């Protein structure tokens, strides 16, 4: 076991040595792998950030019900009472036109312009929250059509409408991310495979002699598998560095956005688990790509 | 269990070129007993190297069978033949076939390490001493002369104590004086080790030092001092 480990270590160091002897070619390959890994990673982070934002909204859909402005305050209160007793509605809050205006001025800071209008243009409204069973998109939609039939209700807006839109957007982004991951993995396969092929061709004589003196295929194959693995791992580490610098570049813009959304941060932070995953993914892909390449090209080299 | 170390049965090798099939080797059969030496002679292009490659399991025949010891090489896959080579075969070639990235010592110990020998380095040192290269163990092939490289190859061939040794014109790339010294070394080590020697050569003088001789011409076995149960 010990000698087995020793032999593997020896081959590993020899592989590192080959890297050091051809630094530019190796670095080029490593950088291409890194970029290939960075692109889907950035998409993944964007996706996760979006999901983080969406999470804040979910679980509490709101129904905004606007009362006909023609209706008097008394009749509006009656509608509020009716809604409060509706079995599907858990809580409901009544907003007089005056309260609605105050809330709007506080949020927008447009008090001056509104004063200028002279008269409050806002209707009375009711903000209702459905109970758990009716929080799903479908039942919420049914509730909306039901309430719309009540006389005196001008219009109803579901908060969910654009949560839904955002979610379907995220879904699209998710699929795109995975597709990109798959496509770029294929590209990575070709890159590593081709690099290994060139290495094999360069060392053809060496392979022939090793096979001549009885080297098994496993023995001849091993250094190339290490190359593939090392290329992948180095590419992964390089990708992390690139991601770090990308984050530094993008984050001022995102911080701006974050303050707009009154959140501390919008950017999803990769945890160490995911960081490790990127490196391991590079390594594993490199290894497998090398294995396939070696299987294709070593077969044609006969002992001599 | 018979006394054969090497047996060839109706060996043929054809290769297909662009327009026709080319027969390089045509129905060659013979058998060789343990511990004896065999010279394969014949004009250039006769098929000697091809035959040697088939006997050593480096290549596969189009027809026929090869036994090396108790192993039928022609029934094995590439991995199996490599394992047999690692276990019982040594090589000395005209072009030395040393690994340029390894030192003399590493070149000699590599086959033993492949065969799982724990004392590979000790033995490699010992054999380099025997071929007179004790001072050069840590030199790379390109730092050595042709004769010295061939001595490294000889040390490598004998260090793993092969049952059979294949040599293809081992003196072909050396001047006469150096060639003679290398040959003396080859025969001397061969006698001490009881290995079977199969030697391809142009030189009548070298061939006459072997116990037996077969002549190949145009892919056919035209003359043989060996008994042959197949014919
Ligand atoms: N793979 C191949 N494809 C086509 N022709 C081949 C191939 N291998 C060998 N030959 C031909 O087969 C013939 C025998 O080759 P071989 O190398 O065995 O000759 P040889 O007796 O060793 O000659 P020399 O004494 O010059 O080394 C030659 O004509 C050679 O060109
Ligand atoms: Mg030849």
DSSP B24: E
Is the alpha carbon torsion for A283, A286, A288, A291 positive or negative?
Answer: negative
Does A215 contact B114 at a Cβ distance shorter than 8 Å? yes
- Mean pLDDT (chain A) is 81
Question: What is the nearest CA distance from A17 to chain B, expressed in angstroms?
Answer: 12
- Dihedrals phi, psi of A52, to nearest 5 degrees: -60, -45
Task: Check if B99 contacts A (Cβ < 8 Å).
Answer: yes
* CA atoms of A90 and A87, how far apart (whole Å): 8
pLDDT at residue A74, rounded to an integer:
84
Residues in chain B closer than 8 A to A215 (CB atoms): 82, 86, 110, 114
Task: Give the number of beta-carbon pairs within 8 Å between A and B.
Answer: 54
pLDDT at B200: 94
Q: Supply B97's token pair.
A: 């076939």
Nearest CA in chain B to A304: B58
pLDDT over threshold 50, residue A176:
yes
Output the CA B227–ligand 1 centroid distance in Å.
26
Tell whether A113 is within 8 A of chain B (Cβ): no
Looking at chain B, which residue has its C-alpha nearest residue A205?
Answer: B99
pLDDT for the residue numbered B230: 46
User: What mean pLDDT do residues A193-218 have?
Assistant: 87
What Cα–Cα distance (Å) separates residue B83 from each residue in A168, A216, B77, B89, B111? Answer: 60, 7, 10, 10, 11
The DSSP bridge pattern shows strands A63-67 and A153-158 to be: antiparallel
In angstroms, what is the span from residue B200 Cα to ligand 2's centroid? 8
Q: What is the pLDDT of residue B153?
A: 94
Element at B11 (helix H, strand E): strand B4-16
Tell me which DSSP letter residue A298 carries.
G
Q: Which of A65-69, A238-242, B165-169, B226-230 has the lowest mean pLDDT?
A: B226-230
Give the residue, out of B15, B24, B26, B40, with the most ligand 1 atoms within 8 A of its beta carbon, to mutate for a pocket test. B24
Closest-CA distance of chain A to residue B82, Å: 4
What pLDDT is stored for residue A160 in this prediction?
67
Task: Assess whether pLDDT exceeds 60 at residue B1.
Answer: no
Report H helices in A92-133: 97-108, 111-117
Dihedral sign from CA coordinates of B124, B151, B95, B163? negative
Q: Residue B51: nearest ligand to its CA?
A: 1
Mean pLDDT of A48-74: 75
Is the pLDDT at A164 greater than 90? The verdict is: no
Residue A209 pLDDT > 80: yes
pTM: 0.70
Taking the centre of ligand 1 as the mean of its atom positions, its distance from the CA of residue B88, in whole angstroms, is 26
Residue in chain B closest to A18 (alpha carbons) equals: B101
Residue range B28-42: average pLDDT?
Answer: 92
Mean per-residue pLDDT, B205-222: 91
Length of chain B: 231
Q: Is the pLDDT of residue A113 over 90?
A: no
DSSP assignment letter at B201: -
- Work out the pLDDT band at A234, boundaries 50, 70, 90: very high
**Model pLDDT, residue A58:** 52
With cut-offs at 50, 70 and 90, classify the pLDDT of residue A132.
confident
Is B118 near chain A, with CB under 8 Å? yes
The ligand whose atoms approach the alpha carbon of B53 most closely is: 1
How many angstroms is it from B49 CA to the middle of ligand 2?
4
* CATH level 3 topology of B4-224: Rossmann fold (3.40.50)
The whole-number average pLDDT for the span B220-231 is: 70
Average pLDDT value for residue range B161-177: 89
Mean pLDDT of A261-284: 81
Residues with CB under 6 A from ligand 1: B 15, 22, 24, 42, 44-50
- CA-nearest residue to B162 within chain A is A213
State residue A98's pLDDT score. Answer: 82
Mean of all residue pLDDT scores within chain B: 89
Residue A1: pLDDT band with limits 50, 70, 90: very low
- Name the residue facing B114 among A3, A208, A213 (closest C-beta): A213
Compare B115 and B84 and report the one with higher pLDDT: B84
Task: State the DSSP H helix or E strand holding residue B66, giving kind and residue range, or none if neither.
Answer: strand B63-68
CA distance linking residue A302 with residue A38, whole number of Å? 40
* Ranges A113-117, A150-154, B125-129, B139-143: which has the least confidence: A113-117
Give the residue from B102, B75, B70, B61 showing the smallest Cα distance to A206.
B102
* A218 to chain B, closest Cα gap in Å: 9
What number is the ipTM of this complex?
0.83
Residue A269 has pLDDT above 90, yes or no: no
With 60 as the cut, is the pLDDT of residue A212 above it? yes
- Rounded to a whole number of angstroms, the distance from the CA of B106 to the nearest CA of chain A is 12
Say what angle helices A160-202 and A272-297 make with each other, to 10 degrees.
40
- Residue burial A161-194, b: 16+ Cβ < 10 Å; e: rest: eebeeebeebeebbeebeeebeebbeebbebbbe
Q: How much is the average pLDDT of B48-58?
A: 93
| Other Cβ atoms within 10 Å of A24 Cβ, number | 7
Rounded to an integer, the average pLDDT of A168-191 is: 88
A248 pLDDT higher than 90: no
Q: Which residue has the higher pLDDT, A281 or A134?
A: A281
In this prediction, residue A112 has a pLDDT band, given cuts at 50, 70 and 90, of low
d(CA B119, CA B210): 32
Closest CA to A206 of B146, B97, B111, B202: B97
Q: Is the pLDDT of residue A171 over 80?
A: yes
pLDDT of residue B229: 46
Answer whether A205 touches B (CB < 8 Å): yes
For B86-122, how does the pLDDT look when each residue is reduced to its tens digit (9 = 90+)? 888 999 988 889 988 889 999 999 888 887 888 889 9
Q: How far apart are CA A240 and CA A279, in angstroms?
A: 8
| CB < 8 Å to A214, chain B | 82-87, 89, 111, 114-115
Annotation: CATH topology of A63-158: Alpha-Beta Plaits (3.30.70)
Angle between helix B104-114 and helix B146-159 axes, rounded to 10 deg = 20
A1 alpha carbon to ligand 2 midpoint, in Å?
42
Among B198, B127, B206, B211, which Cα is nearest to B165's?
B198
The confidence band for A145, taking pLDDT boundaries of 50, 70 and 90, is confident
Q: Mean pLDDT throughout A165-185? A: 86
Q: With 70 as the cut, is the pLDDT of residue A70 above it? A: yes
Q: With left for phi above 0 and alpha for psi between -120 and 50, is residue B29 left, alpha or beta?
A: beta
Q: Say whether pLDDT at B169 is over 60.
A: yes
């Amino acid at each position: 076991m010990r000698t087995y480990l020793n032999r593997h270590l020896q081959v590993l160091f020899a592989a590192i040595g080959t890297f050091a002897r051809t630094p530019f070619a190796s670095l080029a390959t490593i950088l291409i792998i890194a970029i290939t890994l960075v692109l889907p990673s950035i998409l993944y982070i964007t996706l996760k950030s979006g999901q983080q934002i969406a999470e804040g909204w979910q679980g509490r859909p709101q129904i905004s019900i606007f009362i006909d402005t023609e209706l008097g305050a008394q009749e509006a209160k009656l509608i509020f009472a009716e809604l409060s007793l509706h079995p599907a509605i858990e809580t409901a809050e009544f907003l007089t036109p005056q309260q609605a205006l105050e809330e709007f001025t506080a949020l927008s800071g447009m008090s001056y312009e509104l004063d200028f209008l002279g008269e409050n243009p806002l209707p009375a409204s009711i903000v209702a929250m459905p109970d758990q069973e009716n929080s799903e998109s479908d039942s919420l939609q049914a509730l909306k059509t039901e309430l719309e039939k009540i006389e005196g209700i001008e219009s109803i807006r579901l908060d969910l409408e654009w949560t839904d839109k955002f979610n379907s957007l995220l879904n699209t982004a998710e699929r795109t991310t995975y597709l990109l991951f798959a496509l770029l993995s294929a590209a990575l396969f070709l890159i590593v495979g081709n690099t290994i092929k060139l290495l094999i061709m360069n060392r053809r004589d060496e392979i022939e002699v090793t096979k001549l003196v009885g080297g098994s295929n496993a023995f001849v194959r091993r250094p190339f598998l290490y190359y593939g693995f090392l290329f992948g791992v180095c590419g992964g580490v390089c990708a992390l560095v690139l991601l770090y610098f990308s984050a530094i570049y993008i984050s001022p813009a995102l911080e701006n956005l974050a303050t707009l959304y009154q959140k501390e941060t919008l950017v999803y932070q990769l945890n160490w688990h995911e960081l490790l995953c990127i490196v391991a993914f590079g390594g594993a892909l490199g290894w497998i790509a090398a294995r396939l390449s070696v299987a294709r090209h070593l077969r044609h080299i006969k002992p001599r | 269990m018979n006394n054969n170390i090497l047996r060839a049965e109706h060996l043929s090798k054809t290769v297909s070129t662009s327009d026709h099939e080319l027969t390089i080797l045509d129905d060659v059969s013979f058998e060789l007993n343990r511990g004896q030496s065999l010279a394969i002679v014949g004009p250039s292009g006769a098929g000697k190297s091809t035959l040697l490659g088939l006997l050593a399991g480096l290549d596969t025949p189009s027809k026929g069978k090869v036994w090396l010891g108790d192993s039928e090489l022609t029934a094995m896959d590439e991995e199996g033949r490599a394992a047999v080579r690692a276990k019982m075969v040594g090589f000395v070639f005209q072009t030395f076939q040393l690994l340029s990235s390894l030192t003399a010592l590493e070149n000699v110990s590599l086959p033993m390490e492949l065969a799982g020998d724990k004392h590979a380095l000790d033995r490699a040192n010992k054999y380099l001493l025997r071929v007179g290269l004790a001072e050069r163990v840590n030199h790379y092939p390109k730092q050595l002369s042709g004769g010295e490289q061939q001595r490294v190859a000889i040390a490598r061939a004998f260090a793993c104590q092969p049952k059979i040794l294949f040599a293809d014109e081992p003196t072909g790339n050396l001047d006469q004086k150096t060639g003679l010294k290398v040959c003396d070394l080859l025969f001397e080590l061969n006698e001490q080790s009881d290995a079977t020697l199969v030697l391809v050569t142009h030189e009548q003088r070298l061939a006459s030092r072997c116990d037996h001789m077969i002549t190949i011409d145009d892919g056919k076995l035209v003359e043989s001092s060996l008994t042959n149960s197949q014919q």
